[in-house]
Amino acid sequence: MPDLIPLFAGGLVAGTLGGLLGIGGGVVLMPLLRFVVGLSPARAAGTCILAVFFTTSGGAYRHFKLGHLQFKSIVPVIITGAITTAVFSLVFVSLASHDRYLDLGIGLVLSLVSLRMILEGIPRLIRPRDDEHEGREIKGPLWKKIIIGGSGGILPGLLGIGTGVILVPAFTFILSMPIKTAVASSLTSFCANALVSSCFKYVQGFIDLYVAVPICAGTLVGSNLGAVLNRRFRSSSVKLMFGLFFSYVSLKFIFSFFLAQT
């Protein structure tokens, strides 16, 4: 059995990064569960998504208190995301029997997102938006919000990782929203997705509760800390950290897939 203190510490780090960058913290938790704790890809995905729910709920509440969010404007994203998560949670059972492809899928998704966020985080390459004085509302047509929400629900259901890899870039680049507003909206939208996915994966038997409980406690504390720290960072710095961290994690998962092939 793994020690409780390292699990809590891992959850604390994951929650802090989740609250800071608008992600579920799975980029920390999945490597921890796969390569340190030693869970199978399927059980790591199930356990991770439960912990991510606590990250998103704590971080979303803190961002709301800080004034980064208008809930009404993201309701279409939340509803369509929850529906898509339920559908792909059913598909997850079939994928679990070929679980090395979970590693490859996670790695590829993270690598694509990290490249765009790194470019956006370097001011001399792409001029960052001045988001200090912009409103909280997620503007844009309803059909875009429905597509973004539906797309964001795929990853929690199918791979057990956060919607932040979809929603933060989508809110920022497609709906042209400030990064801090995108972070708050991403956490709020994914909270519903993570809850739906967690319920499915618990019933399907892919959640290790002994591992999940101390991690969830850590993520709940860390997510509130990360949301506070978010207010102190420049937008370009947040984007750059987002991209660099995903780059490392994506390579780790891709290499794991090819090592499993040998």
pTM of the complete model beyond 0.85: no
Amino acid at 115: L
pLDDT tens digit string along 140-179?
889 999 999 998 898 888 887 766 667 877 888 788 777 7
Q: How far is 123 from 131, CA to CA, in rounded Å?
A: 14
Percent of the chain with pLDDT over 90: 23
pLDDT at 80: 95
Q: 49-58, 83-92, 113-122 — which is least confidently predicted?
A: 113-122
Percent of the chain with pLDDT over 70: 83
- Provide CB contacts within 8 A for 182, sequence distance 6+: 22, 167, 168, 171, 172
**CA-based torsion, 248, 251, 253, 259: positive or negative:** negative
Residues 183-223: tens digit of each pLDDT: 788 888 989 999 999 999 999 999 999 999 999 999 888 87
What pLDDT shows up at residue 98? 74
Tell me the average pLDDT across 71-95. Answer: 91
**The pLDDT value given to residue 190:** 86
